[in-house]
């Protein structure tokens, strides 16, 4: 089942009198239960495309469909609700709130989705255990390693069972062993929970765990 689809996506930015084309007619689809990597050199449009697919940024033209619903770029409420209910993000720099514990960071993400109280705490505990951090729930981000913080970021993205997981450079700040563990976790999540996972990466090791590899250059998919 297709859960995320992009059709003929174009994105332009204006810098003074100049118009810069970042994406030039990108089309792709992501299926339930598969993990796909998106590779390309710096400046190729990877992060811009990820932001458009995740309803953080809107395209200049083209269509994004999430769970078979067309996303109207002029409807900010729909964009916000789609981000909250259908899409989990794992950011390269973790974006954890320093004043909150690991588990509270996950709970906060659930609060934004509308889940609160005992239900949110139970769900936060479930995903923290799922990513192997049952013993770090009360730890502050400053007391955690890079790999542990990445797992908290993954737990936050998983909380609420969003069907789509968008991941930006998940191994960039990790040692080789931790990176391998994180990649295996993504593969397991796609298989066991039937999630669709799209990983933006420069790391060739990601190819060992994905079902498909997409290459983007100069704002165009090459395969």
Q: Which CATH class is domain 2-221?
A: alpha beta
> Quick one: pLDDT at residue 87?
93
pLDDT reported for residue 6: 96
Beta bridge partners of 167: 90, 199
Write out the two tokens for 178.
């931790």
Tokens 């990513």 belong to residue: 131
pLDDT at 23: 96
Q: Does residue 53 contact residue 34 with C-beta atoms inside 8 Å? A: no
Amino acid 126: pLDDT: 92
Instruction: Encode burial over 49-88: b for 16+ CB neighbours within 10 A, e otherwise.
Output: bbbbbbbeebbeebebebbeeebebeeeebbeebbbebbb
Q: What is the pLDDT of residue 223?
A: 64
Phi, psi of 18 (to 5 degrees): -100, 140
**Cα(151)–Cα(119) distance, integer angstroms:** 21
The model's pTM is 0.90
| Domain residue ranges of the chain, discontinuous segments joined by + | 2-221
- In the numeric block, which tokens belong to residue 148? 């542990």
Q: Quote the pLDDT of residue 175.
A: 82
Which residues are within 8 A (CB) of 191 and not within 5 positions of it... i.e. 6 or more apart? 33
List per-block mean pLDDT (blocks of 10 residues) for the chain, which spans 223 residues: 95 86 95 95 91 92 93 86 89 89 95 91 92 93 91 89 90 83 88 92 91 95 82
Q: If we measure between CA atoms, which residue out of 77, 213, 62, 89 comes closest to residue 150?
A: 89
DSSP H helices in 1-89 = 46-53, 76-86
């Amino acid at each position: 089942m297709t859960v995320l689809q992009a059709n003929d996506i174009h994105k332009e930015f204006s810098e003074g009198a100049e118009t810069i084309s970042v994406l030039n007619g990108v089309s792709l689809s992501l299926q339930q239960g598969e993990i796909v990597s998106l590779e390309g050199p710096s400046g190729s449009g990877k992060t811009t495309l990820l932001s458009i697919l995740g309803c953080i940024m809107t395209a200049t033209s083209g269509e994004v469909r999430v769970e078979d619903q067309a996303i109207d770029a002029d409807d900010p409420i729909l964009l916000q609700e789609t981000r909250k209910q259908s899409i989990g993000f794992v950011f390269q720099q973790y974006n954890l709130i320093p004043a909150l514990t690991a588990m509270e960071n996950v709970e906060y993400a659930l609060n934004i989705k509308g889940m609160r109280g005992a239900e949110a705490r139970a769900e936060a505990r479930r995903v923290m255990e799922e990513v192997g951090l049952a013993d770090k729930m009360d730890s502050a981000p400053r007391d955690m390693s890079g790999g542990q913080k990445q797992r908290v970021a993954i737990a936050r993205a998983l909380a609420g069972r969003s069907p789509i997981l968008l991941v930006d450079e998940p191994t960039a700040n990790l040692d080789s062993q931790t990176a391998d563990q994180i990649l295996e976790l993504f593969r397991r999540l796609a298989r066991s929970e039937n999630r669709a996972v799209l990983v933006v990466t420069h790391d060739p090791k990601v190819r060992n765990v994905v079902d498909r590899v997409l290459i983007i250059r100069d704002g165009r998919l090459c395969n």
